[in-house]
Homo-oligomer: A and B are copies of this chain.
Amino acid sequence: MLSKKTKYALHALTYLGKHKDQKTVLIQEIAEEHGISHKFLENILLELKKAGMLGSKKGKGGGYYLIKEPKDIPLSKVIRLLDGPIAMLPCVSLNYYEPCDECKNEAVCGINRVMIQVRDETLKILENKSLEDILKEE
Contacts and interface: CB of A to CB of B under 8 A. Distances in A.
A89 interface: yes
Given A111-B134, A114-B134, A87 B1 contact: yes
Interface string A1-27: 110100110110010000000000000
Interface in A110-131: 110-111, 113-114, 117-118, 121-122, 125-126, 129
Contact of A2 (B10, B88, B114, B134): B88
A114 B87 CA distance: 20
Contacts of A117: 129, 133
Interface of A: 1-2, 4, 7-8, 10-11, 14, 33-36, 75, 84-85, 87-90, 100-104, 108-111, 113-114, 117-118, 121-122, 125-126, 129, 133-138
